[in-house]
Amino acid sequence: MDVGIRVFIDTAPFIYLIENHPVFGAPTEQYLSTCVENESMLFTSVISYLEFCVVPLREKRHDIIEKFEELLADLSIEMQSIDLVNAKYASQLRSQYAFLKTADAIQLAMAVTNKCNIFLTNDEDLSSIKEINTLVISKIEK
């Protein structure tokens, strides 16, 4: 991995890290550790925050949300907000890729508009998106 890489992190990798997922936790941690070592810029969005927090809020597990917020701070992950530019681009992506859900289209649009080189996810369907290089966690070599 080269210095200067910009990586956008989808929601699932955060869940894998916080929950210490038995299959995907280690490769996610290893990849992000390499990103930090190589001084890659890390991004996510308010969509990831929204998606991540639903279950912990439902279960009244504010400690999990605190761990998530600490992870964001510790890795210096830039939290991106949705604006009209992202909404327009997400609309364009959804019109081009009929299978895209709104949240995924917004995440991808934010990655592209922030000039990210890699979109880290575990959604294999998103690897067909041509506008950005998608890295699927289940495909990371151990």
Query: Which CA distances in Å does 75 have to 42, 91, 134?
Result: 8, 30, 20
Task: Give me the architecture of the 6-139 domain, per CATH.
Answer: 3-Layer(aba) Sandwich (3.40)
Local confidence band at 3 (pLDDT 50, 70, 90 cut-offs): low
Residues 9-60: pLDDT tens digits? 999 999 999 999 999 999 999 999 999 999 999 999 999 999 999 999 999 9
Instruction: Answer whether 0.85 is exceeded by the pTM.
Output: yes
Sheet with 133-136: strands ordered across: 78-80, 41-45, 6-9, 118-121, 133-136
Query: Which CA distances in Å does 9 have to 61, 95, 97, 128?
Result: 23, 23, 20, 17
Domain ranges in the chain? 6-139
